[in-house]
A and B are shown apart, each in its own frame.
Chain A
Amino acid sequence: MKQVIGHQGEIRIVKIDALPADMQAEATDKGQKGFIISHSENGNHHLLVGDNVAVIERQDVPSGMQILYGIVSGDAELVQDAATPHDGFSLPEGFYEFRISREYDPFAQQARRVAD
C-alpha cells in the first residue's frame, strides 16, 4: 500500500508499508543537520531530520533516478536548508520512499550528432 504524501520541490514523498524486497541499497551517512535526501549545488539541501532515523539509497534504479528510503522510528521532518525554503513535511513513524525527479536533455544527443 502506497500513500502519496506530497512533493517538496523535486522530491516525491510516498509512505510505504515495507521496504522493497530484493533491492540493492546502501546506507547513507548522516550529516550535521540530518540526512541529505536531495543535494543542492548552492547548499540548499533537502534534509530528513529526526533522532531515530536511518536512510538508505537504492542502487538499482532507472537511468537518472535517485531513490532513497527513510526508516523513521519516532517522528521526523523533511525540511529544506534554505533562506526561503520549500515548506516542510512532518513524517510520523514508518517507511518512506523519496524519489528525486529526473530531467532529460532532448537536445544534447541531437547536438552531438549534428556537430559530428
Chain B
Amino acid sequence: MITELTAEQEALLPVFREQCRAIGLSTEPIDKNEAKDAVSNLYTEAGLEAPKMIFVCQSPAQALLMRAILRNTNLGDNLGDNLKANLGDNLGDNLGANLRDNLWDNLGDNLGDNLWDNLGDNLWDNLGDNLGDNLGENLGENLRRAYEYTYFLGGQDMPWLAFYKFGQMIGVTYERQQHFDAYWRYAETCGWGYFYQNVAFVCDRPTTLAFDNDGRPHNETGPTIEFSDGYKVYNWHGTSVPAHWIEDKENLSPLEVLRTENVEQRAAGAAIIGWPKMLSVLDAKVIHDSGNPDIGQLIELALPGLPEPGRFLKAECPRNGTICEGVPYISDIDGLPIDTAIAAQAWRIGDPQSDYIHPEKRT
C-alpha cells in the first residue's frame, strides 16, 4: 500500500491541482454528444441501466424547472416509461455517495489526508465552498419548491475527485476503478447534473465566472456566475446579493440596504452603495477630527444587527468629494491603535503612523 509520496510526486501536486482548477473553472460550452455519452457511462458503470432520456440543459435552473414541469403536469405521464414517477428521488447514493466511501477505503487514511490537504482542501475553497455552495443557495432561493440538491457538479466536483485521481495516477487501485473513471469523465466533460431512474438532466457550464483575489465570487459591475440561458448570480465578495444592487447600484437606496434582513447582505449592500452615501442614514460618532478636511476625521459607524461599530476615515478628495473608507482598529504595520485621522491615513498607504507625512499636493 502506498502511504507516502516521492519527491517527484510531491512536485507534481501543484501542477495537477491547477489543471483540476482549470477544469472546475472552465466556461467552455460542453459537447452535447460527449456529455450524453459520459452520463450513460456513469449510469452503466454504477450498475444501473443507462437513462432512456438525457436532457441537455443550459443551466441548473433550466434543468430544475424542466424537472418540476414534467413532474407537476400531465405531460410527464405522456412521455412514457412512467417518467413522472421516476423524477422523484435522485440517484445520488447509487451514482456517487457509495462510490466515495469505497474510494476512501482504498486510498488509505495517510495518503488520503495528505492528498486532501494538498488538493482537495485548496480546490474546495475556490470551487466548492465559494462557487458550488453559492450557486446552490441561489438556486434554492430562486426556485424554491422546484429546487433539488445535487451531488453532481461536473468540473466543480474536482475538489474531491482530484485527490482520488492523483492517487490513481501514482498507483493506487480502487475496487470500483471503472465507476470512478466514469465519474471523472463526467466531471471533465459536463456541468451540473440531476440524475433519476431512466431520466437525466445534464447542464452546460457557466459562460461567466468572476472572483475576487481571495477566490470568492465577486463582480462590481455584473454577474459572478452566468449561464447561456440568462440565469445569473450576483455576489459581493462571496455574499449573494440581488441583481439590481449591482446592475443599478446608482439608484440603490441606503434604506433598502438597511431594511435587508440578512445581515451579511446588509454589510455587502453598504459596501456596494458606498459609505459616503450610507452616512445619510447612519449616525456617525467622531473619534478624532484633524481640523484639516484634507486629512479628515476618524469616525465610527454602527450597522444595525452587528455588535461592534466600524471605524472609517472621512475626508475630502479634490476630485471625488467626500470619501469614507473603512480602517481596522489596530494597524498591521506598527501594531498601534488607529485612534486618529492621521493614523488612518498612514494605515491606508501602509506606513507606520510615526513616519506618515501628509502631502501638500493632492489631486
Contacts and interface: CB of A to CB of B under 8 A. Distances in A.
Are A and B physically bound partners? yes
B221 A7 contact: no
Interface of B: 220-221, 237, 239, 262-264, 266-268, 270-271, 303, 305-312, 317-320, 325-328, 332-333, 347-350, 357-363
A109 to B, nearest CB: 9
A43 to B, nearest CB: 11
Contact of A86 (B310, B312, B319, B328): B319
A6 B267 contact: no
B267 A65 contact: no
Interface string A2-26: 0011111100110000000000000
Interface of A: 4-9, 12-13, 41-42, 61-63, 65, 67, 84, 86-89, 99, 101-108, 110-112, 114-115
B37 to A, nearest CB: 41
Contacts of B361: 5-7, 89
B326 A106 contact: yes
Contacts, number: 104
A99 to B, nearest CB: 4
A107 B317 contact: no
B264 A115 contact: yes
A83 to B, nearest CB: 12
Q: Which 3 A-B pairs have the closest CB atoms?
A: A106-B310, A6-B361, A87-B363
B359 A111 contact: no
A115 B263 contact: yes
Contacts of A65: 349-350
Nearest to A12: B349
Contacts of B270: 107
Contact of A107 (B267, B319, B347, B358): B267
B264 A111 contact: yes
A8 B363 CA distance: 5
Nearest to B325: A103
B220 A41 contact: yes
Given A61-B350, A115-B264, A103 B307 contact: no
Nearest to B358: A4
18 contacts: A7-B359, A7-B363, A8-B363, A12-B359, A67-B350, A84-B319, A89-B361, A101-B349, A103-B326, A104-B328, A105-B326, A106-B308, A106-B328, A107-B267, A107-B270, A107-B310, A110-B306, A111-B268
Nearest to A111: B267
A90 B153 CA distance: 53
Contacts of A84: 319
Nearest to A115: B264
Contacts of B239: 111
A4 B328 contact: no
Contacts of B319: 9, 84, 86
B349 A106 contact: no
Contacts of B268: 108, 111
Contact of B306 (A8, A41, A107): A107
A111 B266 contact: yes
Nearest to B329: A106
Contacts of B325: 101, 103-104
B363 A86 contact: yes
A111 B239 CA distance: 10
A42 B308 CA distance: 33
B334 to A, nearest CB: 11
B263 A5 contact: no
B262 to A, nearest CB: 7
Nearest to A8: B363
A111 B332 contact: no
A9 B326 contact: no
Contacts of B309: 106
Contact of B267 (A8, A61, A105): A105
